[in-house]
Amino acid sequence: MLDTLGNLERTHTCGELRESDVGKQVVLMGWVAKKRDFGVFTFIDLRDRGGLTQVVVSEETAKEAHVKAKNLRGEFVLAVRGEVVSRADGTHNSKLATGDIEVKVGEILVLNEAKVPPFQLEVAGTENLASEDTRLKYRYLDLRRPRLQHNILTRAKAVARIREYMDERGFIEIETPILLKSTPEGARDFIVPSRIHTGKFFALPQSPQILKQITMIAGFDKYYQIARCFRDEDLRADRQPEFTQLDVEMSFANAEMVYRVMEGVFGHVFKLINVDLPEQWPRMTYAEAMRRYGSDKPDLRFEMELQDLSGELTDTDFSPFAEVLGKGGEIKAVVVKGKADYSRKVLDELQEFVKRYGASGLAWIKLGDETTSSLLKVLGLGTIERLASTAKAEKGDAILMVAGKKSVVAAALGALRNEIGKRENSIDRSAYRTLIVTEFPMFEHDEDTDRYTAAHHPFTSPMDEDLELFKQAVENDAEHHLLGQVRAKAYDAVINGYECAGGSIRIHQKEIQALNFKALGMSIEKAREQFGFFLDALEYGTPPHGGFAAGIERTCMILCGTENIRDVMAFPKTASAQDLMMDSPGEIDGAQLGELGIKVND
Ligand code: ASP
């Protein structure tokens, strides 16, 4: 028989009691985290959101409770009434916030029983954790673990801080619909069939992009929303099909004004973990970031900049290098300090690593007692030594080189830099390094179709300095390739190598918007079909405006120190976009399909 709660009210959480509470009569409620049976004494670790408290039940002073305690198992739900007693006798547990006290129980109410959980909840750290799939299936149990409780709580606090910051600065929270029409972020849409309009479909928002711009046209001046976004993309470790953004838009704003809001809001949020981010973040253009780090989101917690060796090799007769340089490619390197002793095996692994990013191989120089190199025979010692000095390498260092197209060299060495940073522990884990990357390219070139796509989205404004170039490239077919050089008023906020936010100043004039659709190879009819309502809106007095969106999950991953996005979401999906607890996506019955006018192919 279970006990009932009746009028009993808890007086404290399981994380609250301290030495100063000794002598108080208290009521705690929570789950049995652990039970230890010592015959006449039974010890219970009682757990709730607040933490753990040790509860002791003595046969001598609480006979009935002691009998009940014998039959308790993990995850049973209890109320306990008792007196706070000191553990100053030397038994205190310094690992526990409540470790100076315990509760000497007078009465136990067993409010509910629990089946034996399919995995152990009380494991320290991540060792011995059950598989993630099992934990996702029983997410409600997994979420009871203190670490996930902490993460979800941190997330709630972060969002509360965001709202506080934005509200104080006159931003208005405006909700936009989830049942929408295709939006322009360039990923695949999630589609919802309409029952009332058979054969027609809503799309879930990839972001509220167009609607937030329309709130500017509608005169709201400063908008924000904690917005849910849906993108049907191939999943990666730090991606989920649905995620949450802080979405922001401002009228009459230039890029610097937007940066100040990004800096301010992140600064306010990071105070949560007692980290003071700089008031003004360093800025770096996209071009510089790519040149120095091979990445548009460089992790600045360690140095290891890319070194350009192309200049030293312009006259080389080593044909693979000559060919690369002849085609406008590059030869660049990273220097790994003190690693002249890299073994063949490690170099082979790193070689395989860069190949995943499209590099044809990895050449190396090792400045050990003797200088050795995979290129010694073909380049000769003199050239090798010159390369080492251009790369600013010193005795004891290893130099790792990649040759190829600029984009491949950047991708391969950018990733290798991060990989080595991790391998060699060169990342300062206690540091928080911020950066605003500016002047992103306006377009990406798709080599297969020889077409240009929007690097950010099609409403991003070109830089004033590049407007003429943009017009020239759009209006003259022969100069279309110049689109690749047009820079946009687009920017990202980066913390510790994570892209935490991105945005742009938008196009607010319909002529430039029309040119942009043309640049993207989108006929005006096609553009009208997709965004006609928005093009109309642009014609009714659109203020200059711009904004950004910040990833709530990414931000919380940094706040919580995890690389797993599922650690900061209460109910995430697996890497293959399934919810294992609800078993979704699931099938729907024939009648429902019929109503929607949909037939599923076998
Ligand atoms: N809508 C953009 C995104 O989701 C952000 C922005 O441009 O404001 O990435």
Closest listed residue to residue 301, CA positions, set 141, 150, 422: 422
pLDDT given for residue 308 in this prediction:
98
Give the single-character DSSP code of 395: T
Residue 76 has pLDDT above 90, yes or no: yes
Closest listed residue to residue 78, CA positions, set 99, 50, 118, 48: 48
Residue 123 has pLDDT above 70, yes or no: no
Mean pLDDT, rounded, for 481-499? 96
**Cα 490 to ligand 1 centroid, rounded to whole Å:** 10
Pocket test for ligand 1, best of 180, 185, 296 (most atoms within 8 A of CB): 185
**Cα 184 to ligand 1 centroid, rounded to whole Å:** 9
Which tokens is 345 given?
């095996």
Please report which confidence band the pLDDT of residue 574 belongs to, taking 50, 70 and 90 as the band edges.
Answer: very high
Query: 365-383: per-residue pLDDT in tens?
Result: 999 999 999 999 999 999 9
Closest listed residue to residue 253, CA positions, set 285, 313, 212, 283: 212
Residues 6+ apart with CB under 8 A from 347: 362, 364
The answer, yes or no, to whether any atom of ligand 1 lies below 6 A from the CB of 209, is yes
Residue 487 and residue 506 in contact, taking contact as beta carbons nearer than 8 Å = no
DSSP assignment of 126-155: STTPPPHHHHHHTHHHHTTSHHHHHHHHHH
Q: Residue 242: which H helix or E strand, with range?
A: strand 242-251
The answer, yes or no, to whether any atom of ligand 1 lies below 6 A from the CB of 307, is no
Residue nearest to atom 7 of ligand 1 (CA): 503
**Cα 549 to ligand 1 centroid, rounded to whole Å:** 5
pLDDT given for residue 237 in this prediction:
67
**Separation of CA 49 from chain center:** 25
Residue 56 has pLDDT above 90, yes or no: yes
The answer, yes or no, to whether any atom of ligand 1 lies below 6 A from the CB of 503, is yes
Closest listed residue to residue 242, CA positions, set 553, 459, 538, 535: 553
Class for domain 19-112, per CATH? mainly beta
For the domain spanning 302-423, the CATH number is 3.30.1360.30
Residue 58 has pLDDT above 80, yes or no: yes
pLDDT given for residue 524 in this prediction:
85
CA distances from 236 to 12, 130, 292, 305, 323 (A): 42, 22, 26, 26, 35
- Percentage of the residues of the chain whose pLDDT score is greater than 90: 89
Closest listed residue to residue 306, CA positions, set 404, 440, 416: 416
Please report which confidence band the pLDDT of residue 239 belongs to, taking 50, 70 and 90 as the band edges.
Answer: confident
**Cα 209 to ligand 1 centroid, rounded to whole Å:** 6
Q: Which atom of ligand 1 is nearest to the CA of 548?
A: 8
Q: Which atom of ligand 1 is nearest to the CA of 208?
A: 1
Residue 183 has pLDDT above 80, yes or no: no
CA distances from 530 to 199, 430, 442, 525, 534 (A): 17, 47, 21, 9, 9
Token look-up 């197209």 returns 405
* Structural domain spans, the chain: 19-112, 302-423
DSSP assignment of 288-335: HHHHHHSSSS--TTS----EE-GGGGTT---HHHHHHHHTT-EEEEEE
- Two domains, one topology: 19-112 and 302-423: no
Q: Which atom of ligand 1 is nearest to the CA of 212?
A: 8
**Cα 18 to ligand 1 centroid, rounded to whole Å:** 47
The answer, yes or no, to whether any atom of ligand 1 lies below 6 A from the CB of 418, is no
**Cα 188 to ligand 1 centroid, rounded to whole Å:** 15
The answer, yes or no, to whether any atom of ligand 1 lies below 6 A from the CB of 78, is no
CA distances from 539 to 14, 72, 221, 510 (A): 60, 70, 17, 7
Give the single-character DSSP code of 172: E
Which tokens is 49 given?
């959101």
pLDDT given for residue 450 in this prediction:
87
Residue nearest to atom 8 of ligand 1 (CA): 548
pLDDT given for residue 129 in this prediction:
82
Please report which confidence band the pLDDT of residue 125 belongs to, taking 50, 70 and 90 as the band edges.
Answer: low
Q: Based on the number of CB atoms within 10 Å of its own CB, is 374 exposed (0-12), middle (13-18) or buried (19 or more)?
A: middle
Size of the chain in residues: 602
DSSP assignment of 93-128: -TTSTTTTEEEEEEEEEEEE--PPPSS-S--SSSTT
**Cα 506 to ligand 1 centroid, rounded to whole Å:** 11
pLDDT given for residue 575 in this prediction:
87
Please report which confidence band the pLDDT of residue 541 belongs to, taking 50, 70 and 90 as the band edges.
Answer: very high
Give the single-character DSSP code of 284: E
Please report which confidence band the pLDDT of residue 211 belongs to, taking 50, 70 and 90 as the band edges.
Answer: very high
CA atoms of 66 and 108, how far apart (whole Å): 8
The answer, yes or no, to whether any atom of ligand 1 lies below 6 A from the CB of 404, is no
The answer, yes or no, to whether any atom of ligand 1 lies below 6 A from the CB of 504, is yes
pLDDT given for residue 127 in this prediction:
64
Please report which confidence band the pLDDT of residue 283 belongs to, taking 50, 70 and 90 as the band edges.
Answer: very high
Q: Name the pTM for this structure.
A: 0.94
Q: Which atom of ligand 1 is nearest to the CA of 248?
A: 8
Residue 440 has pLDDT above 90, yes or no: yes
Pocket test for ligand 1, best of 180, 210, 247, 248 (most atoms within 8 A of CB): 247
**Cα 193 to ligand 1 centroid, rounded to whole Å:** 26
Mean per-residue pLDDT over the chain, rounded: 95
**Cα 191 to ligand 1 centroid, rounded to whole Å:** 20
The answer, yes or no, to whether any atom of ligand 1 lies below 6 A from the CB of 492, is no
Pocket test for ligand 1, best of 185, 204, 209 (most atoms within 8 A of CB): 209
The answer, yes or no, to whether any atom of ligand 1 lies below 6 A from the CB of 502, is yes
pLDDT given for residue 220 in this prediction:
98
Q: Based on the number of CB atoms within 10 Å of its own CB, is 47 exposed (0-12), middle (13-18) or buried (19 or more)?
A: buried
pLDDT given for residue 472 in this prediction:
96
pLDDT given for residue 124 in this prediction:
65
